[in-house]
Amino acid sequence: MQNPNEDTQWNDALRRRGILPEKEGEVTEDQLINLLEETVQKKTGMNVVKAYEDMTLDELEELEDEEDERVLLQYRQQRMAEMQKLEKASKFGDIREISAQDYVDEVNKAGKGVWVILHLYKSGIPLCTLINQFLARLAQKFPTTKFLKSVSTTCIPNYPDKHLPTIFIYHEEDMKKQFVGPMAFGGMNLKLDELEWMLAEAGAVKTDLEEDPRKKNKIHDVMASSLRQADTRDSDSDEDD
């Protein structure tokens, strides 16, 4: 039997297919046969296998091709099932206006596993307008989440304006999170990705953001503020000259 540690085209081919281990030490003939039998039996289901010197490279490649095709087919079927499940769940995609009468049907009866985001707002409040614009874009990005909005006093009579904007987040009838008042959103400095992160932290959406953008945006705002102050000082200095 040929030396399994020998640098030959045959042994290289066997190593690529996992039949021979990498060359890190001496391999006995018994170990080699056991490895061969385990590998071929796993791939073919054969109870009786040929010794590796009796197998051609074409036979080995055929075994590998069959295994690759099986794994690829399994992966495709899994991805198709995932896509079909996502397509079935993606039934929203916009932000809907509701009244108090709609609340029970739209929130309490939203459906099993459905996350609901409800924005209470009023016209004429700039931050409310900004958040409605952001939510409209996020509703398109996350069509499996139900996005709702309602004029505050229409949904909740006598709801104080000082609490606006307000976002309630529900899951299967339970309120999971609430953001109340302008300070909860950081005021008019709120960015789209920041709102997305806030909703994701509450569990309402599955974001592809890797870290809290508020940290990055805060650093950027500080740098921008410093540059503006420097420009103002330079301008004042020029006027004095």
pLDDT per residue over 31-79, tens digit each? 555 665 665 555 555 443 444 455 566 766 666 666 666 665 666 677 6
Instruction: Give the model's pLDDT for residue 50.
Output: 45
Instruction: Give the model's pLDDT for residue 47.
Output: 40
User: What is the distance between the terminal CA atoms of the chain, rounded to a whole angstrom?
Assistant: 95
Report the range of poorest mean pLDDT among 84-98, 135-149, 205-219: 84-98
| pLDDT confidence band for 204 (50 / 70 / 90) | very high
| pLDDT confidence band for 22 (50 / 70 / 90) | low
Exposed/middle/buried for residue 87 (C-beta within 10 Å: 0-12, 13-18, 19+): exposed
Alpha-carbon dihedral angle through residues 156, 128, 174, 111, given to the nearest 10 degrees:
100
| 136 touches 95 (CB < 8 A) | yes
| 176 touches 200 (CB < 8 A) | no
> Quick one: tokens of 92?
């929203």
Please state the rounded mean pLDDT for residues 74-96.
71
Contacts of 215 (CB under 8 A, 6+ apart): none
| 205 touches 115 (CB < 8 A) | yes
